[in-house]
Homo-oligomer: A and B are copies of this chain.
Amino acid sequence: MARTAGSHSDITGPRVRDAALKLFAQGGFAAVSMRAIAAEVGVQAGALYNYTPDKQTLLFDLMERHMNELLAAGTDDPSLAPQERLKKFVAFHIRFHHARPDAVFIAYMELRNLTEENFARIEALRSRYESGLETILRDGVAAGVFQVSDTKIATLAIIAMLTGVNTWFRTGGRLSLEEVTAQYWDMVRRAVT
């Protein structure tokens, strides 16, 4: 056998990434073999190399796509009041991260498996995202509506707190995502005012 019926690059490519995302999140980059990814897709290991030059690049692609999605989806309207902008940020962050737990997990946990250069590129993207929040905080401080002595620290603290939702929240539990978001917004609001 060789080429299989219905095989197409446009189909297999995304399926390779989906499989890798799922398995990396499940077992960790180093613990997942190319053969395991191939099995999930339904091809032999060799076929994966039509879609990535190597395993490391496959990981990097997943992370980079995730960070680019995050940056593209985030919106901030500087004409709004800082309180309103911060509220929108909190809601967006929780919603966006909750929708893609695997990608979030990988983007935070597999950084050490990147080459130095790839690591730097991911960190640059993450830094850009953090800057978005810090800008809101700074504008709020300048406007006198936030009292934050160090906006950089507050930025990191808020993001860590919000991302933490992913580690415990499950749909169908005691609270809805909207209720959880409201509570986190309450804490964030009070923490900066």
| Partner-B contacts on A (CB < 8 A) | 26-31, 109, 112-113, 149-150, 153-154, 156-161, 163-164, 167-168, 175, 180, 183-184, 186-188, 190-193
Contacts and interface: CB of A to CB of B under 8 A. Distances in A.
A28 B27 contact: no
Contact of A150 (B31, B109, B175): B175
Contacts of A161: 157-158, 160-161, 164
A191 B183 contact: no
Contacts of A28: 28-30, 112-113
Contacts of A159: 164
A159 to B, nearest CB: 8
Nearest to A153: B183
Q: How many copies does the complex hold?
A: 2
Nearest to A168: B156
Contacts of A113: 28, 31
Contact of A184 (B157, B167, B190): B157
Contacts of A193: 190
Given A149-B183, A183-B153, A184-B157, A112 B190 contact: no
What 9 A-B pairs come out closest when comparing CB atoms? A160-B164, A30-B31, A30-B30, A161-B161, A187-B191, A191-B191, A157-B161, A190-B190, A190-B191
Contact of A157 (B27, B29, B30, B187): B187
Contacts of A164: 156-157, 159-161
A160 B158 CA distance: 9
Nearest to A130: B168
Nearest to A109: B109
